[in-house]
Chain A
Amino acid sequence: MNMDEQALVLQIQAGDEDAFAKLVYIYKDKIVNYLYQVTGDYQKAVDLSQETFLRVYFKANKYRPIAPFSSWLYAIASNLAKTELKKRWRMSLVSLEDVPPAVEISTPSEEASDSGLIKNLRQALDTLSPRYRIPVVLKDMEGYSQEEIAEIIKRPIGTVKARISRGRNILKKQLDKARTGNVSFQKKEIFDGRF
C-alpha cells in the first residue's frame, strides 16, 4: 500500500479534515469516472462519489490496512452503485414490459466512424447487468487485477474470472448485433435483475 495514503488514512482516523481533503483530491476523478462508467449517469456519479468520500471519512476507523486503500474505496463506491442500480431496476420493472428499451443503436453507416462504435459500446455497457458490468469496468477500464477485483466485490476469484469473461462475451455479442443492424434485443434480455 502507498505509505502516503496510509498516513493520510491514519490522520483521517484521528479526525484530520485536511488529510481527508487531500484524499478527495487524489481520488475524486477516478471515483467519479468509475461511478459514471457503472451508472451511466454523470450527475448520479457525482452524488454517489460525494457519498463515497463521506463514508470514507465517517467509517475510517473500520479500515484495516490489510488491503490497499483504493480497494476499500472502490468497494464502498461499488456498493453504492449497486444499491443505486438496484433501486433503478425496481423502478423500471413496472414499465419494462410496455416501454421500448431506451437503447439507441447507431446505424451501420455511423459505424464507419470511431464515435459510432464507442456510442454502441457505451449503450451496450449501460444495458449490461451490474454483476458483469462492475468487474468488467474494474478490469478493462480501471486496470485492476482479478485478485484486487475479488477483494473489491467480495467474491471468489473464480467468480470474478467468470463474470469478466461472461460480461465481455455479452458486450461482444451486442456489438456484433449492432454491427449487423439487428437491434431487436431487449434490455431485459441482458439485465435479468440479478446483482
Chain B
Amino acid sequence: MATVVTETRRGAAIPACLFAWLLPGAGHLYLKRTVKGLVFLGAIGTLFALGVAMDARLQMSLGLDDILASLFSLAQMAIGAPYFAARAMGFEAGQVTSVTHEYGNTFTAVGGLLNILVILDAYDTAVGRKP
C-alpha cells in the first residue's frame, strides 16, 4: 500500500513542478495545498507585477557573452507564464531612465528566484517529504 501511495505521489511530482513553473502557486493548488498556493500566487505575482510596473527590463539574454545578463534572464524566466505574457504585452524593454528601473529588475528577478524555491517545495510535497 505504501508503495502504491509513493508511486502515485511521484506521478504527481512532474505535473506539480510544471504547473508551479507556469504560474507561481499553481503546483500547490494542484496538490490541494490551497492556502500555500494562494499565498505564493499572491506574493510572487505581486512582486512580478510591481517589478513590471516599476519599468523592469524583461529582455531575453541567453548566451555566454554576458553571463550575468544570462543569469538575470534565467531568474526572470523562472516565474513562467507571467514573464512571457508581460513580454508579449510590450513590457519587454522597460525604461532605463526611470528612477525605479533597478528596483523593478530586482523585484522581477527575486520573484523568479523565489518561484524556483516554490517549484522545489511542490516537488517535496508531491513525493511526501513535506506535509
Q: Do A and B come from one complex?
A: no
